[in-house]
Structure formats: C-alpha cells, structure tokens
Amino acid sequence: MRRRLPAALLGAGMALLLVAGPTLACGGLIGPNGAVNLLRTTTFAGYHDGVEHYVTAFQFQGGGGAFGSITPLPGVPSSVEKGGDWTLQRLIRETDPPVSRVSLDFLAAQSAGAEVLMQVRIDALDVTVLKGGAADVGQWASQHGFRLPPDAPEVLDFYAKRSPIFLAAVFDADAAQQRGQAIGDGTPVHITIPTPNPWVPIRILGLGKTADARVDADVYLLTDHQPALLPTPTGSNGMNLDNSEQASQSLLNDLRSDSGMGWVPTDGWLTKIAIDADAPQLSYDLAIDASGQGVPSWVQAGLEMPVQIKLVDQTTTIRALLAAILAIGVLILVLQLGRMAGPRMTNPA
C-alpha cells in the first residue's frame, strides 16, 4: 500500500510543476525538427548498496506529434519504471524552500544496430534501453523520425567510448492528450542501475545548444557518505555546490515513503549541485566516488578516455617509414663524412 505525503506537500509540488517550463534532466532533447529548447532541469541520483537510482521526469509541454531525448547511462539498468510522485519536488523543497522553479525530464535514443535490452511504456513515454555505439544511437533516432543536432555524433561518441548504454525515450504528445495529461504534467521515471560507482551525465545537457546558450540544471545526490566529486564544483567551471550536508531524517522519511523509493537508507549525505554554464563549458560529466575513498574516476568524468589499442592509420605508417629512411640516410652520410674527414692511413714513402 502506497503511503502518501501530506496533501500540503503534494500541493506544493504540483504548484512547482505548474510553473515549470519544458524540461529534461540529464538527457539531450531532440525534436522532430532538431530543435532543442530546455529550461531548468532537475535530476536525482541516489547511490546505496552498489546501485544507482536515477530519478527524473519527462514533462508534457503541449502540442502534438512526438519528441524524444537521449540519456547515456553508466550501466545496464535492472529496471526502468514509473518514478514516485514527489521525490523530485521534495528534494527541491529541502534545498530551495518554497521557490518557484522545478522540474526535470529526460531520456532517449537508440539505434538500428543497437541491441535492445529493455522496452517499457510509462504513461505516454516509450522507453528503450539500448546497448550500442554512437552510430547505432544516431541511426535509431533517424529511423524514428528525429533529427539529431550537428554536435550529436561527437557527443554520443564521447559517451559510447565509456559506456555503450543509452536510454531512449519517445514522448508521444498525442497519446498524452488522449490520456488527459495537461500541459505541465510530468512523468517521473526511475532507473535502477547496478554500478560500482555512480556518475551523472552532464555534457549531454548541452546537446544541440548553440555556443551562446545557457544550461541550467539541478543535480541532487544522495549517498551513504559525503561524496568526492570530479570535477570539483568551483562555480567558475559551471558547477556550484549549493548544498552538502547530512540528509535530514524528515527528508529521508519522505523520500522513502514515495513509490519505488523503499531503498532510501536511514542515513545519507545530501548534495545539491547547481549547473549554470555556457553550453560549450560543459565538456565533462560528474564522476562520484561515494565509497568514502575520495577518488572519483577521471574516465567517468570524461576528462580522459579509457585506454584503447590505437590503430596506426596509413598516413602515420607512411610518415614513420619516411622518417626511418631519412634517419638511416643521414646516419650513413654522417659516417661517410666522418671517415673522409678523419686521419687517413697512408703508406710511408
């Protein structure tokens, strides 16, 4: 039996939703015309017992047709389900008491050559979890009528090299209307991902944005210990550490009482990171070491790529060959010159 938050709290959450703009959390939103237009987004990433719980919401913004988004994931989800009713709103209320902005959303894409790992229908959302490379994701998106923005090939490659798992969500606005969803109604999605260490995709937030566009987003983390983050939020790098403290019991109790949130521990550390950056500034992801060891991964942060065997291309081979021939030629000539310039043995007269 689902427990409910007091009506007052729920009302506060709904009010926040009603004033929220079109949003998407930690996913790249792709419209049929390639347009991307996001306002502020909110994402929650909780990590406990080796499992990352990712909660975000997809918000109906009116209109018709379909649109979708792409979210890279750190691993293969064990489940994708409808999220709780108030988790995100309750988090916002914890760190930004009665304010007027909210929300979130997310997800999306896949590809023709991609392996479909999971398909789930959540309200008007068609969610597909895919395993594949950037080309697969791009092909899938094209085949489903979406036009990826020009930066998509590079951004998707950035993720696929580290984790070839993507979550594609297609939001059917016509179905939403038929379901009676009103503009502003959100569909929360809860993704459960077993992973040694969590990370949150940040660079994807800039997908499709022009160089002068801004990215505003809130990322909430709930971990057993105070996490070590990479990059460290400094403000100048587009990330601000807005909150870092032991989570209150009232917050934990409220979160635990939401649907699907029974995993929330009795103790935890709440971190809130506000992203306020120019889109090109977001060239990284947020790596989290929640173990208490204080060593977040540079690879997970996207600051370095996994070690790979490099194939030498033809041009490189030709250059190396020419350089080797040149070096040998010079060596031979220098030796020859040395012999000519040195003392010569002559026969005595």
Partner 1 sequence: MSRNRARLALGAGLVALVLAAGAAAVALAGRPVATPATAITIEIKYSHFNPSAITVPVGVPVTITLVNDDPIDHEWIIGDDAIQQKHRTGTELLHPVRPTEQVIPALSTRVTTITFDHPAQWKYICHLPGHEAYGMVGVADIVR
Beta carbons of 232 and 286 less than 8 angstroms apart: no
- Give least dist CB 29 to partner 1, A: 14
Q: In Å, what is the CA distance from 202 to each residue of 189, 242, 280?
A: 18, 17, 11
The residue written with tokens 């019991």 in the block is 249
Task: Decide whether 33 or 178 has the Cβ nearer to partner 1.
Answer: 33
Q: In Å, what is the CA distance from 246 to each residue of 90, 197, 210, 221, 238?
A: 16, 20, 38, 11, 24
Task: Decide whether 295 or 337 has the Cβ nearer to partner 1.
Answer: 337
- Give least dist CB 281 to partner 1, A: 17
- Give least dist CB 296 to partner 1, A: 27
- Give least dist CB 191 to partner 1, A: 24
Task: Decide whether 4 or 319 has the Cβ nearer to partner 1.
Answer: 319
d(CA 344, CA 169): 83
Burial class (CB in 10 A: 0-12, 13-18, 19+), 178: exposed
Task: Decide whether 19 or 334 has the Cβ nearer to partner 1.
Answer: 334
Beta carbons of 160 and 114 less than 8 angstroms apart: no
Beta carbons of 136 and 111 less than 8 angstroms apart: yes
Indicate the pairing of strand 41-48 with strand 214-223.
Answer: parallel
List residues binding partner 1 (CB under 8 A).
33-35, 111, 134-139, 142, 147-154, 156-157, 208, 210, 315, 318-319, 322-323, 325-326, 329-330, 333-334, 336-337, 340-341
- Give least dist CB 283 to partner 1, A: 14
- Give least dist CB 325 to partner 1, A: 7
d(CA 237, CA 170): 32
Task: Decide whether 66 or 261 has the Cβ nearer to partner 1.
Answer: 66
Task: Decide whether 99 or 331 has the Cβ nearer to partner 1.
Answer: 331
Task: Decide whether 141 or 219 has the Cβ nearer to partner 1.
Answer: 141
Task: Decide whether 114 or 189 has the Cβ nearer to partner 1.
Answer: 114
Task: Decide whether 48 or 147 has the Cβ nearer to partner 1.
Answer: 147
SS3 85: coil
- Give least dist CB 338 to partner 1, A: 10
Extended strands (E) in the chain = 28-30, 41-48, 51-59, 66-73, 79-82, 115-122, 125-131, 165-172, 186-194, 199-200, 214-223, 228-230, 239-246, 269-278, 286-289
- Give least dist CB 154 to partner 1, A: 4
Identify the DSSP state of 38. Answer: -
d(CA 320, CA 291): 46
- Give least dist CB 65 to partner 1, A: 17
SS3 328: helix
Beta carbons of 191 and 27 less than 8 angstroms apart: no
